Amino acid sequence: MKVQILSKDDSEVKFLLEGVTPAFANTLRRIMMSEVPTMAVEWVDFRKNDSVVADELLANRLGQIPLTFDEKAYNLPEDCKCEGKGCSRCQVELVLKKKGPCVVYSGDLKSSDKDVKPVFDKIPITELFDGDELEFEAIAQLGLGKKHAKWQAAVVGYKNKPAVTINARECTGEKCRKCVEHCVRKVLRAEKGRITVTDPFECSLCLQCVEICPKGAVKVETAEDSFVFTVETASGLRPEEIAERAAKRLEEKADEFCKALGKLK
C-alpha cells in the first residue's frame, strides 16, 4: 500500500492510495464520513426567541455550525465516566443573547471553553428586527456522522486512478484538437502542434476526448487497485486529521474482528 499527497490546504486534501481493493477504499471513505467524532450542538434551551425562525429550525441550524475542539479534552458521551449524564469531559456550553435590529452570526456564540468555537464567525443564524430578542443556552458534544449528519466530519469522494495516453500518430487534424476544447477539466492541452496531458489526476473519466478524436488517438484507462481521494472537511478538524483518524479507526475495527474470530475457535 502506498499513499501520495497530491494537494493540500486548510479545507481539502487530495491523495493517491495505491495497492488496495475497491472494498477497502469504500470502507475508508465511509469511516471518514461517519465514524470520526466531531463536535456539534445537541441540545438548545430557548429563553427568548422573537425572530421569525421557529425554535426547532433555529436548533437545527445551530447543529449544522461546525465547531473546533480539542480531541484530548472530550469523550463521546457513551464512553465518558459520567455515563452520558453530562459533565465537563463530554459537554460544553454555548450561550447567546442578542437584541435587534441585527443579524445574528455564529461568531456571537459565547463558549465555556475557548477551544470550542465556530469554525467560521460569519455563518448567519437569523435576523432580529427592532425590539426582537434572542436568548438561549446550547449544549455541544461529540458524536458520529452515522448518528446524525451534523457530526459528519467530511465530504469524501474517490475515483480510480486515471491514465491518459495520447497517440501522436493518430491524434492529428482539426477534429482531434477539438478534444482540448471539450475537456472540461483542462487535462489536455494543444501546444506546438501536439496534444499533451497536463494533469491526469484531474481527469473525470467522462471519455469525451475518446469519442471526439479519431479511433485510437486518445486512450483513457483506470487502475483497479489505485484511487484518488478528495477529502473536504465539514467540521472543526483538518482534512488530513480526518484521514488519519479514519485509518486508525479502520485498524481498530480490523483488530476487533480478529479478536471476535479468535473466540470462535
Of 94, 120, 151, the residue that ends a domain is: 151
How do beta strands 154-166 and 102-105 pair? unpaired
Give residue-wise pLDDT tens across range 31-81. Answer: 999 999 999 999 999 999 999 999 999 999 999 999 999 988 899 998 888
User: In this structure, are 11 and 69 located in the same domain?
Assistant: no
Q: Which domain holds residue 124?
A: 38-151
Q: How confident is the model at residue 171 (pLDDT cuts 50, 70, 90)?
A: low
User: In this structure, are 147 and 159 located in the same domain?
Assistant: no
Torsion angle of C-alpha atoms 233, 237, 243, 246, degrees rounded to 10 = -110
User: In this structure, are 52 and 146 located in the same domain?
Assistant: yes
Rounded CA gap, 69 and 245, in Å?
15
Match 477497502 to its residue by C-alpha cell: 24
Give residue-wise pLDDT tens across range 84-131. Answer: 788 888 999 999 999 989 999 999 999 999 999 999 999 999 999 999
Q: Is the pLDDT of residue 204 over 90?
A: no
Give me the mean pLDDT over the 194-221 stretch: 84
We report the CATH number of the domain holding residue 14 as 3.30.1360.10
User: In this structure, are 76 and 181 located in the same domain?
Assistant: no
Tell me, what's the pLDDT at 173?
62
Q: Is the pLDDT of residue 175 over 70?
A: no
Tell me, what's the pLDDT at 174?
66
Average pLDDT, the chain: 91
Q: How many domains does the chain have?
A: 2
Q: What is the DSSP string of 127-148?
A: EE-TT-EEEEEEEEEEE-TTT-
CA distance readout (Å), 122 to 106, 107, 129, 154, 224: 6, 6, 18, 20, 43
Stretch (H or E) spanning 73: none
Rounded CA gap, 44 and 137, in Å?
6
Tell me, what's the pLDDT at 229?
96
Q: What contacts 108, CB < 8 A, 6 or more positions away?
A: 96, 98, 125
Q: Is the pLDDT of residue 265 over 70?
A: no
Tell me, what's the pLDDT at 238?
95
Match 454555548 to its residue by C-alpha cell: 94
pTM attached to this predicted model: 0.86
Q: Is residue 24 part of a domain?
A: yes
> Other C-beta atoms within 10 Å of 263: how many?
6
